[in-house]
Amino acid sequence: MFVDKAKIKIKAGDGGDGAVSFHREKYVAAGGPDGGDGGRGGDVVFQVDDNFSTLIDFRYKRKYVAERGQNGSSRNCTGRSAPPLIVKVPRGTVIRDAKTGRIMADMSSDEPKVLAKGGAGGKGNVHFATSTRQIPRFAKPGFMGEEFEVTLELKLLADVGLVGYPNVGKSTLISVVSAAKPKIANYHFTTLTPVLGVVRTDEEKSFVMADIPGLIEGAGDGVGLGHEFLRHVERCRLIVHVVDVSGIEGRNPCEDFEVINAELAKFNEELSERPQIVAANKSDMATEEQIEELRQYIEEKGIPLFCISAATTKGTSELIKKVSEVLDTLPPIKEYEPEPVPQAELDDMAGAGKKFEITVDDGVYYIEAHWIQPIMRTVDPDDYSSLQYFQRVLINSGIIAKLEEMGIHEGDTVNLEGFEFDFVY
């Protein structure tokens, strides 16, 4: 099955928590705090693997989570940082943020791309010792790793894209000029998936040609198979437009040419400006009048036309020679640059870490603040300095101010993510 689009969730590993520990050694009095820092969480890294040709694996596994960093330990020992999670994708995969649609990475080169960064490790209690607080019984939790829902979109890396109506001979053409072996039959939509073929023009010179299936009128709006595969034309440097000059199926080749070009432009305006060569196929079955009518129509537009018969290979070598010459003058295959995160999204991300919601039910103030759960893990409710640290967190985040604004009184019950305590000034 050829799958060229998928949606997955990726999450980098959270950082390990800092440790609360005190030096204990025989004959060493009051050794002091020695809790080490937590390790860094694992990154989520995408890497190209040329053994993959579709995104079908992502239909069965939709969540990729990197390992969490190890917690710190005693004797100032830092926890082990987690290894990166490597996600392998086929070459040409474009990764977008599912929420905003911005391009995060174009996996066209061999360079690995870090899409989600692991959280930093939390500080151990050794960092919080001061002249007035010599026994800190708290540490900082690890930071959360980045988390995204992303869409993967495979856009084949081909120099030349073959486009045209079904059954005009695209599959036959790619089969005679390359080693590709597509299915060939005398009915529409024989080719159900894009086919790539390497065309060699010299011992050390070649280019990649792609047969794009299913283009008919309305393809840009989702008719036929075109809406599934038009994305694979977007990278092509040159378009070879194959038309049936014989009109054996009762269509006019000039009208076919205009219809397909209109669908390309409807899907992506840039495609209408892409260089083209017209291959007038089945010329051995056409009359001189049909050929001349098409030639005059196409050449008036400044587009070169080659009369070929893919079934007998007539004219195919001349066509390929011209394609190679044009490719030498064109820029390399298009690569998409990662798009920066919009400022509004950065502001939301900055504020998301301290978001909370407070509701009152039967005199109890319920606070939802998921970001505070890691902090609560490192707080010792029986230690005064630890509670002071926790109180500062509540004040700095605005939770205390919000409770007072809602009319809380001393002695009222507060439920913070399941942890209940009485409110005191």
CATH at 248: 3.40.50.300
- What's residue 386's pLDDT? 74
Are 179 and 251 in the same domain? yes
Percent of the chain with pLDDT over 90: 31
Q: Examine the fold and report which residue of 154, 182, 205 is the final residue of a domain before the chain moves on.
A: 154
Q: What is the mean pLDDT of residues 187-202?
A: 68
Are 240 and 108 in the same domain? no
- What's residue 217's pLDDT? 52
- The 10s digit of each residue's pLDDT in 35-51 is 999 999 999 999 999 88
- What's residue 125's pLDDT? 87
Domain CATH for 394? 3.30.300.350
Are 195 and 267 in the same domain? yes
Q: Examine the fold and report which residue of 281, 311, 327 is the final residue of a domain before the chain moves on.
A: 327
Residue 335, domain member (yes or no): no
Q: State both tokens at 318.
A: 């001349």
Are 385 and 316 in the same domain? no
Alpha carbon separation from 376 to 13, 82, 365 (Å, rounded): 19, 23, 18
Are 201 and 250 in the same domain? yes
- The 10s digit of each residue's pLDDT in 215-224 is 655 444 444 4
Nearest Cα neighbor of 335 from 150, 152, 87, 107 is 107
CB 206 within 8 A of CB 200: yes
Residue 118, domain member (yes or no): yes
Are 196 and 317 in the same domain? yes
Residue 338, domain member (yes or no): no
Residue 339, domain member (yes or no): no
Domain CATH for 50? 2.70.210.12
Residue 261, domain member (yes or no): yes
Q: Which domain holds residue 254?
A: 160-327
- What's residue 10's pLDDT? 96
Are 78 and 144 in the same domain? yes
Q: What is the mean pLDDT of residues 123-147?
A: 85
- The 10s digit of each residue's pLDDT in 371-414 is 787 777 777 777 777 777 788 888 888 888 888 888 888 888 98
Angstrom distance (rounded) from CA 89 to CA 106: 11
Are 178 and 126 in the same domain? no
Rg for the chain, CA atoms, rounded: 32
Are 109 and 33 in the same domain? yes
Length of the chain: 425
Percent of the chain with pLDDT over 70: 88
Are 175 and 100 in the same domain? no
Q: Examine the fold and report which residue of 91, 123, 154 is the final residue of a domain before the chain moves on.
A: 154
The total number of structural domains in the chain stands at 3
Are 133 and 281 in the same domain? no
Higher pLDDT, 353 or 282: 282
Residue that the structure tokens 């540490």 belong to: 139
Are 121 and 185 in the same domain? no
CB 149 within 8 A of CB 98: yes
248 — phi, psi (to 5°)? Answer: -65, -20
Over the chain, what is the mean pLDDT?
84
- What's residue 319's pLDDT? 92
Q: How confident is the model at residue 228 (pLDDT cuts 50, 70, 90)?
A: low
Residue 363, domain member (yes or no): yes
Nearest Cα neighbor of 106 from 408, 315, 350, 332 is 332
Give the E-state strand segments of 61-181 in sequence order.
Answer: 63-65, 85-89, 93-97, 103-107, 113-116, 147-154, 160-163
Angstrom distance (rounded) from CA 358 to CA 402: 8
Q: How confident is the model at residue 88 (pLDDT cuts 50, 70, 90)?
A: very high
114 — phi, psi (to 5°)? Answer: -85, 115
Residue 294, domain member (yes or no): yes
Q: How confident is the model at residue 15 (pLDDT cuts 50, 70, 90)?
A: very high
Q: How confident is the model at residue 335 (pLDDT cuts 50, 70, 90)?
A: confident
Angstrom distance (rounded) from CA 395 to CA 96: 38
Evaluate if residue 164 carries a pLDDT over 80.
Answer: yes
